[in-house]
Each structure stands twice: as structure tokens, then as C-alpha cells.
Structure 1
Amino acid sequence: MKHYRLVALSLFAIALTCFSCQEDDNLPSQKPGTQTGVNTNANATNVNPNYGRLEFPRLKTGGNNLVLVHSVDNYGVNFAVEWDCDKKAQRWTCYQLNSINSVKNWSRDNWKKTEWGGDPFQEDTTIPQQYRTTLADYRSSGYDRGHICPSADRLNSKEANEQTYYLSNIQPQVNGFNTGVWLTMEGALRNTWNTNNYRDVLYICKGGTIDKSSQIAGYTSKSKLIVPKYYFTAILSVKNGKYHALGLWFEHKSNEDTKLRNYAVTIDRLEKLTGIDFFCNLPDAIENEVEAKIDLKWWGL
């Protein structure tokens, strides 16, 4: 199974070969990370050029944080995660949806034919063992193992789908949230917005809140995994060189609401709520404009 790990901060000094990333031919004329006006992650791209991709938010500085970039043959970067080793939790997962990586060459039903007869949830071995979450951490916790980059969004290969089951891409979720409004959001991304009507490429960053004590609902009783109080989604659509952005902010509780309009916020507002600087690799003028507004009608909300 092919993946790429790079330590973003000073916790470890590891040099690994960087796998090339496949870009959609319909991207803006300048590839992510090469536009004028890029400033926030400019230094980080000297370490790993993938950090200049448009889905990447600003990387957190200080502390024991890792940036994990998982890649697969034929499709390049699958998704990336910023992992807080001290908290044993992810700050976000980011990824792209486009016509190339959205093809279906794998069925999740095939996991039932394996020797274990089920989904391949597993530890992420690119994280040092003492900082990983484990299957035992979730067992009898009362919470779902909630995907951030959805399994159903990565059916282009067995390997790509399996990587979404790494526990680094998982956070504890209340079942009525995971199978409710969060599932509704995933369905809208996959079935409505990930189409030629809305995108050449969708750039997505998602996660649950772990940074502020006021945004932590609690901890699992046995393993003390962080249970986020809120979950968020930041979406940037690029279609024919035009940009649209949408933020979604959810309280983490059982919720079957199907009207995503109720959770829509500007990216500027989402940044204030989360403390995360999204889409920082855009040219400044475009970033400032697209993050300040939402066209709800354009998004069909």
C-alpha cells in the first residue's frame, strides 16, 4: 500500500521520497502552489510541494503535529491529514474531488469477501505507535468511527478506498449525526456538487474541533479520545476559472435535518469559528473575494 508521510514540524526528522501528484487538466492555468500571491504555505512547499495544493489550509506551527499525505498509484494524492500527536486526534483532512479520481473501479461490498469479512478499519502506521489511535480506542466507546474523507468518495481503487479506513481519517461521531446531517452533507458533495455542472475540481477540507476546550464535547470514557463539539466542512469549487466557496458548521449531535442551508456560513466565518485558515494557497485577491461571500442559489441551497 503506497502512501507518503512527511513530518511538517520538528517532532521527527524523516526524509522520504515524494510521490508525484496528479492534477486535473481543468485546473486553473497555474497549478496549485505556483500562483502569484501565494503566501501562507510558501515556505512549507519547499519541504513538500503538495502543501501548495489548493485544498490545504494553513499548517499549524508549534507543537507535535504531523502532516500525512497518502497517495496511490494512478491517482496521486488521495487525501492529507494534519495530526496532533499530543491529542491523538486529527485537526483536518483535505482532499480533491474531480472527474479523474471519482471513477468507480472498486466496490465496498468486496470487503465482505476478505478473511475478516468487513470494512478494513486499521491503525495508520505512518504515525509513530505512541501517537496513534487504535481499534481498541473505539471499541465499546458508544461512538461511530466517523470518516472525514468518505469511503464512498474513494472508489477509484482498492488501495484508495482502504486508506480512507485509516484511523487518522476517523473521528468519534454520534451515530445520529454520522448517519444524519453529516451523511446528508457527504451525499450533496458526492452526488450534486461533484458533477460537471458545479466543478472542474472541488477542493475540500473537513474535520472536528479539537483546538479549543470550549469546542470539545468530551472524551470517550475508556481511551479518552477527543469528542468534537462541532464539525466543519470548507468547500472551494473551481469551474471554468471561476471560484465559489461554501462553509458548513454543524453542532455534533443527533440531527436528521436535510436542509444544509441551515448550516451554511462564509469561509471567513468558518475560519473565525475554527481558527483554521482555509484555501490559503489561493492568490490573495481571489481568496479575499471568494471567502467573504456565499452564493446560496449557485450551490442550490
Structure 2
Amino acid sequence: MGYDRAKKAALWVAYPMHGYYTSGSAGSSSFTKDPDLPSEDQMGGTFATTYNRGHQLPNADRKVSSLANKQVYYYSNMTPQIASFNSPIWAALEGNVRTKWICSDTLYVVTGCHFDGSETTATDKSGQVCPVPTQYYKVLLRTRSGATGKAVADCTAAELKCIGFWYEHNTDSGQTPATCACTVSEIEARTGLTFFVNVPTAPKSVADPSDWEL
């Protein structure tokens, strides 16, 4: 993850998705501080307002073991997320990642939150004041067939596919995976980040909805 201590949030969380990680029945674990970060740089509990503690790497994506599930409940993996955005708007995208787009080859995911300068704040029960993200995004990379048995770094551009999703953090129910799809390059331009740097053939400037059944 790329953690911003001032924002008390990870600006991005990168993780692999495969059936191995979603198999099992572990969780749900208890929310807790990340032992690798200073306590004062993390949120500290529930919010008295309409915000959830929104997972960036979802609980359901790490059911394989108690340890894996415990780690997604670290506060470093949380952001203050509007409850009615968290579910069902954002949850619909998370469900597609977990069911439609996962494959025998690994699906690579980066989930992030963005602050455009107009963010508000929310105070948790411990008194921590946490900036509220203005946007959320995901970028995905996998092989086209999903069953090459090859590392993505060894694939040609023709063997790979990418897509991005950019959501405004609000309760607009018109936001769906289909309406929020874009290229990875577009999200790079908005965030100033560079994704999939170890895969120079990744087709980041292409996002074909038909490739992802949108």
C-alpha cells in the first residue's frame, strides 16, 4: 500500500486476486490498528455519522485463512466511506472483481481513494479527524484468456487486458461498473500514479467494455 499518514488512509492498495484467496470461511475479523504504523496515524474506530469503515481490500477477497482475513481489518485498509455508497454502489464493482473477472491466471488489482482538494472530514469515536475521500478507483490487469499459465510480465500486449473504474464518492445510484469504466491511463493522469510498472506491455490506454462483459 501507499499510505498517507496525514490523510490517515492508504492512497492505493495493490493485491492479487485468485480463487485461492477467496476460498475458505475465515472472518469476519475484528477491526484493529495496523501494528506496522503509528497508532496516531490511523483512524481509531466507528464513525458517529453516516460513514462506514470501508475496506479497500474487501473482506470477502481474503477468506482463505484467519491471518489473511485479519489483515484486511487493519485500520490502514479502511477509509471513511458513505454507507449507501459502500453498499450497493461500490459493492457491485467489488462483486464483479470477485466473480466475473477473477481467473485461473492471477487478476491484479489496485484499489485506491483520491482527494481532489474539496474533501470534508469525519471524526471517529476515538477523536481522530479523518479526511473523507472525494473519489475511489480500481485498476485491473489480467490475461485475456485467463488460463495461459504465464506471468503477465511474460505476455505480449495482445495477450493482456486492462481496465479502470473511477467513482465519485456520493450516493448517485447511476454509478455502475459500466458507467464508471475508463482506461488505466486516465486514472494515472488523474492521480499522478503509475500502475503495473513491471509489465511494460500492459495495454493501459485501452478499455474495451466487451472484454469485461460490461
TM-score normalised by the shorter chain: which range applies? 0.7 to 0.9
2:191 to 249, 253, 274: 274
1:126 to 19, 36, 39: 36
TM-score (norm 1): 0.62
Q: How many residues are matched?
A: 199
Structure 1 segments (4+ residues) deviating >3 Å: 255-259
Q: Give CA deviations for 1:238-258 in whole Å, capped at 9, x if unaligned.
A: 232421101000000114347
Cα distance in 1, alignment partners of residues 7 and 169 from structure 2: 19
Cα distance in 2, alignment partners of residues 173 and 157 from structure 1: 26
* Counterpart check, 1:295 vs 2:208: yes
Identity of aligned residues (%): 29
Cα distance in 2, alignment partners of residues 86 and 266 from structure 1: 29
Q: Which amino acid aligns with 1:156?
A: V
Q: Give CA deviations for 1:170-221 in whole Å, capped at 9, x if unaligned.
A: 111111110022000000000111134xxx11110011113x41xx431114
Pairs within 5 Å for 1:65-84? 81-84=1-4
Query: Which has the higher mean CA deviation after the structures are superposed, 124-133 or 259-268?
Result: 124-133
* Other-structure match for 1:30: none
* Counterpart check, 1:150 vs 2:58: yes
Cα distance in 1, alignment partners of residues 119 and 20 from structure 2: 38
Cα distance in 2, alignment partners of residues 91 and 187 from structure 1: 21
* Counterpart check, 1:248 vs 2:153: no
* Counterpart check, 1:226 vs 2:134: no
8 Å contact kept, 1:246–1:294: yes
1:230 Cα deviation from its structure 2 partner:
0.5
**SS at structure 2 position matched to 1:101:** helix
State which structure, 1 or 2, has the greater radius of gyration over its C-alpha atoms: 1
8 Å contact kept, 2:108–2:140: yes
RMSD: 1.8
1:217 to 97, 119, 122: 119
* Other-structure match for 2:17: 97
1:107 Cα deviation from its structure 2 partner:
4.0
**SS at structure 2 position matched to 1:92:** strand
8 Å contact kept, 2:139–2:163: yes
* Other-structure match for 1:187: 95
Query: Mind listing any 5+ residue stretches in structure 1 that lack a counterpart?
Result: 1-80, 112-118
TM-score (norm 2): 0.86
